[in-house]
A and B are shown apart, each in its own frame.
Chain A
Amino acid sequence: MAEAKTARLKNRPLSPHLQIYKPMLTMMMSIVHRITGGALFFGMLLLVWWLIAAAAGPNAYAQVQWFMETVIGRLILFGYTWALIHHMLGGIKHLIWDLGYGFGPVEREWLTVATLVGSIGLTVLIWIVGYLVMGGMR
């Protein structure tokens, strides 16, 4: 009797969580904001590695340069760039929301699409500028 009661209590619906709702773009981008934030948390290691290597000397710096020019290094750097830009644009969207603007059904969707399209566009633009500065693909 007591066990049945405990089981019933355990199976009670709790407050609704993610799986209850139909996926929406604003919700997905909210999750992506957390994921990119978490990625940038560990991505800071790359920046620190670069700075320490520059301070340590030419050999250490050459190692960083070698790694960043491998395919994996390039992919990580590209992902890092996108995570930073997307987190920044998502952050600006949250600042706008913090001020009480952009909550309408049209504005919130528009803002969210803008963070996604903007982050991809800006990331590609930054990399095009980067390759132009370096004088070609490498």
Chain B
Amino acid sequence: MTEQHRYSIRTPLGRVRYLGSAHNGTRVFWHQRLTSVANIPLSIAVIAIIIGLLRSNHAAVVQILGSTPVAITLLLFIISSVYHMWLGMQVIVEDYVHDETWKLVTLMANTFFSFAVGLAAVFAILKLSFGL
């Protein structure tokens, strides 16, 4: 218990009320919805881009994926969906992993995985665009 809590006049119940099992506010809930709405048009666009590339060879794929509108669409899709899946997996972990140590480990693994996957995708898209 921190000093601040020890001398607080708020009751333990008052401190956790409305915060839920995640001990957090509604930020996760809201960002989950925000990214879900963004993901609808972005996923449709990515499916269309992939279908459009089915006949292309590697050189054509690089040219199209690296073009400005396609690269920006892909970047938006990756950022929005990786954030969405990070939040979603966090909720799943909080619901099913009850052991405190395992919960910390899986929450960390979730963050590391999501961050690594997202950064790798962003790097690949930028490399395709700038041709490094």
Task: List chain A positions with a Cβ less than 8 A from chain B.
Answer: 34, 37-38, 40-41, 44-45, 47-48, 51-52, 54-55, 57-58, 61-62, 81, 84, 88, 91-92, 94-95, 98, 126, 129-130, 133-135
Q: Do A52 and B117 contact each other (CB < 8 Å), given the known contacts A133-B51, A133-B54?
A: no
A95 to chain B: which residues have CB within 8 Å? 33, 36-37
Whether A41 lies near B51 (C-beta < 8 A) is: no
Interface residues on B, range: 20 to 34
Of A37, A48, A129, the contact of B51 (CB 8 Å cutoff)? A129
Task: List chain B positions with a Cβ less than 8 A from chain A.
Answer: 33, 36-37, 39-40, 43, 47, 51-52, 54-55, 58-59, 61-62, 65, 74, 81-82, 85, 88-89, 92, 117, 120-121, 123-125, 127-128
Whole-angstrom distance between the alpha carbons of A82 and B45 in the complex?
16
B124 to chain A: which residues have CB within 8 Å? 48, 51-52, 54-55
Whole-angstrom distance between the alpha carbons of A89 and B8 in the complex?
46
Whole-angstrom distance between the alpha carbons of A92 and B58 in the complex?
35
Taking CB as reference atom, which chain A residue is nearest B82?
A: A44
Whether A126 lies near B47 (C-beta < 8 A) is: yes
B55 to chain A: which residues have CB within 8 Å? 133-135
B121 to chain A: which residues have CB within 8 Å? 44, 47-48, 51-52
Whether A88 lies near B40 (C-beta < 8 A) is: yes
Whole-angstrom distance between the alpha carbons of A28 and B43 in the complex?
24
A126 to chain B: which residues have CB within 8 Å? 47, 51
Quote the shortest CB–CB distance from A104 to chain B (angstroms).
22
Quote the shortest CB–CB distance from B106 to chain A (angstroms).
12
Taking CB as reference atom, which chain B residue is nearest A127?
A: B51
8 closest residue pairs by CB, A with B: A51-B124, A55-B124, A55-B127, A58-B58, A61-B58, A52-B124, A41-B85, A48-B121
Of A48, A54, A81, A88, the contact of B128 (CB 8 Å cutoff)? A54
B54 to chain A: which residues have CB within 8 Å? 130, 133-134
Quote the shortest CB–CB distance from B73 to chain A (angstroms).
13
Of B39, B51, B82, the contact of A130 (CB 8 Å cutoff)? B51
A133 to chain B: which residues have CB within 8 Å? 51-52, 54-55
| 20 contacting pairs across A/B (C-beta < 8 A) | A34-B92, A37-B88, A41-B85, A41-B88, A41-B89, A44-B82, A48-B121, A51-B121, A52-B120, A54-B65, A54-B124, A54-B128, A55-B127, A57-B58, A92-B40, A94-B36, A95-B37, A130-B54, A133-B52, A135-B55
A98 to chain B: which residues have CB within 8 Å? 33
B88 to chain A: which residues have CB within 8 Å? 37, 41
